[in-house]
Amino acid sequence: MLEVDKATFETEVLQSGELVFVDFWSPACAPCLDLLPEVEAFAEKNGGRAKFCKVDSGANKRLAISQKVMGLPTFAFYKDGEKVAAFSKDEIDMSAIQDKLDELLS
C-alpha cells in the first residue's frame, strides 16, 4: 500500500485515473493495528484492480478533517476525484468492503 500524506494526497488519490482505496489509520489506534493484516490481505488480493493507499491520520490531521474522517479506522473509495463510499469504525466488514469494490469496478 502506498503511504500518502497532505503533500501527495491530491496527486495520488484525487487526480488518479483509477479507483482508489484509502485506509485512514494511526499507529496509536488499536483497532487500526488489529485490522492491518486484513487490510493488507485485501490490498494484495485486489492489487491491479484498484490503487491502495494509506494515510497516517495522526500525522495528517488537517487532511483527515478535510476528508471528513470522524473516527479511526476509516476506509474510503475515491473515483474521479470524489469520495464515493466510506466505512468507519463499527461499519467495517471486509466482505462488505470487497462487495463495494466489486460494485464500483462493474
pLDDT in tens, 21-45: 999 999 999 999 999 999 999 999 9
Cα angle 37, 38, 40; round to 5 = 65
Q: State the CB neighbour count (10 A cutoff) for residue 77.
A: 21
Q: What is the CATH number of the domain that holds 60?
A: 3.40.30.10
Q: Which of 24, 34, 26, 74 is nearest to 54 (CA)?
A: 24
Active site residues: 29, 32
pLDDT in tens, 59-73: 999 999 999 999 999
The number of domains in the chain is 1
Contact 3, 54 (CB under 8 A): yes
Confirm if 86 and 22 have CB atoms less than 8 A apart: no
Phi, psi of 83 (to 5 degrees): -75, 120
Answer whether 0.75 is exceeded by the pTM: yes
Give the domain extent around 80.
Answer: 2-105
